Amino acid sequence: MIEVVQAFDRKPIADIESDDAAALERKLVTARRLFRDRTAWIPVHERMAILERLAALMAAERDALGMQIAREGGKPLTDALVETDRAIDGVRNGVDVLRTKAGREIPMGLTRASDARRAFTIVEPIGVVAAISAFNHPLNLVVHQIVPAIVAGCPVIIKPAGPTPLSCLRFAELVREAGLPDGWCQTFVPESTDLAERLVTDPRVAFLSFIGSARVGWYLRSKLAPGARCALEHGGVAPAIIDRSADLDKIVEPLVKGGYYHAGQVCVSTQRIYVHADLADAFTERFAARVAQLKVGDPTLAETEVGPLITPKEAARVQSWIAEAVAGGARQLGGGSLSETTLKPSVLVEPPRHAKVSTLEVFGPLTCIYAYKDIDEAIESANSLPVAFQASVFTENLRVALDAAERLDASAVMINDHTAFRTDWMPFAGRRESGYGIGGIPWTVDEMTEEKMIVFKS
């Protein structure tokens, strides 16, 4: 049995049955059998109907799903309900993808050797999908892994994050209630990471969808069976650049949201803020004052804006990184702890460039402010790490916006918005150590399918 506790106060929520090696083998046998039997493949119109019913079922229990996210994951209820709404819309997005997903014609007759032929492609599922999910969006992330598999026609086995399995388990139940036949979406909740690795590396798995740390993701990729493909979503140390022309009245609120949403436990959370020296003092004063106003505490209360970290261990780690930066000369504004899991938001001014808070993903309620004199210096600093995901530029100058957007090492650059902006249908991908492959529901469907060409000679 696995005990699930509330992130905020560590009180037990539920005990759930764990899966052993025999259960894993049964799930893999089932998934492989379904994929190999083309007569068992679910027609497109049935997949569309299943997803439409699923969205309706989720909408009917929206409030309960949001509260479950708040309890097991610690996300403030207001944000947890937003996550639920996004998850419902993500299911509907899967229907939209099914309406347009198709093969294409390949031109023939371009040479004498290719004359008298017509060629086209059809889209086929890649095979069994193994999905490893993360705790910070326990419902929406599994939607981003399970729904594309249903759209693509792939059997999927998903392992939720250890601290937050309940949202995933309930979603899988709803998928079955919506009419997905048995075996096409299976959950896997082992007590040990060894079994999770065995799932990923099994030769019957054709595709790995992984959301989590870079260390684990790249390790698992190195262990995949020959021919297996993967998509890895890791994290970053997201930079935001504030140009001299930026309007301080417009930028404080989005930067506070980008830095402290879900207590900073977001892979594109705004962490490094580079502000022009002419604005540095005024921005820091306004920003720190707004951060100090954030309501911190029980995530199940509607007024809470910042909840706990996922475990006491993570809270202690963030505190130690802050202490290291302060010992190295950083000025700390705010901070402190409310409980073993809940930290008050902190702002660090001019931490050392080699400190952990400047070079590694904090995944906590902390942002760092650095002053610069020339934007080239800010861009160079923003691009100085081996991670690259999303970035931001705040400016009223179009030339600066376009120039910085092109020069920043990022998969997406937001102009006058925080680094954590995302829609569920846009491409979402880390570069270099931050990830591999492309997320976002339509893009993940592409990752989980293959094109087969058919050539007719007449």
Residue 173 sits in a domain of what CATH number? 3.40.605.10
CB 138 within 8 A of CB 167: yes
d(CA 277, CA 274): 9
Q: Is residue 427 part of a domain?
A: no
d(CA 410, CA 222): 24
Q: Is residue 321 part of a domain?
A: yes
If one counts the domains in the chain, the total is: 2
Q: Is residue 308 part of a domain?
A: yes
**What φ, ψ does residue 224 adopt, rounded to 5°?**
-65, 150
Give the active site residues: 233, 267
Residues 221 and 337 in one domain: no
Q: What is the residue range of 122's domain? A: 2-234+434-457
Q: Is residue 318 part of a domain?
A: yes
CB 270 within 8 A of CB 253: no
Residues 209 and 62 in one domain: yes
Q: Is residue 189 part of a domain?
A: yes
Q: What confidence score (pLDDT) does residue 342 get?
A: 96
Q: Is residue 243 part of a domain?
A: yes
Residues 146 and 288 in one domain: no
Residues 75 and 222 in one domain: yes
CA distances 290 to 60, 163, 252, 265, 416, Å, are 36, 31, 8, 19, 18
Q: What is the largest CA-CA distance in the chain?
A: 77
Residues 201 and 266 in one domain: no
Residues 133 and 262 in one domain: no
Residues 308 and 287 in one domain: yes
Q: What confidence score (pLDDT) does residue 55 get?
A: 98
Residues 47 and 65 in one domain: yes
CB 364 within 8 A of CB 264: yes
Residues 24 and 70 in one domain: yes
Residues 410 and 453 in one domain: no
Residues 287 and 147 in one domain: no
Q: Is residue 453 part of a domain?
A: yes
Supply the pTM of this predicted model.
0.93
Q: Give the tokens for residue 55.
A: 């969205």
The label of the residue with tokens 């031109």 reads 107
Per-residue pLDDT of the chain (458 residues; tens, 9 = 90+): 899 999 999 999 999 999 999 999 999 999 999 999 999 999 999 999 999 999 999 999 999 999 999 999 999 999 999 999 999 999 999 999 999 999 999 999 999 999 999 999 999 999 999 999 999 999 999 999 999 999 999 999 999 999 999 999 999 999 999 999 999 999 999 988 889 999 999 999 999 999 998 899 999 999 999 999 999 999 999 999 999 999 999 999 999 999 999 999 999 999 999 999 999 999 999 999 999 999 999 999 999 999 999 999 999 999 999 999 999 999 999 999 989 999 999 999 999 999 999 999 999 999 999 999 999 999 999 999 999 999 999 999 999 999 999 999 999 999 999 999 988 998 888 888 888 988 999 999 999 999 999 999 98
Look up the CATH number of the domain holding residue 249: 3.40.309.10
Residues 386 and 441 in one domain: no
Q: What confidence score (pLDDT) does residue 172 get?
A: 97
The label of the residue with tokens 């250890």 reads 162
| 210: enclosing H helix or E strand | strand 205-211
Q: Is residue 270 part of a domain?
A: yes
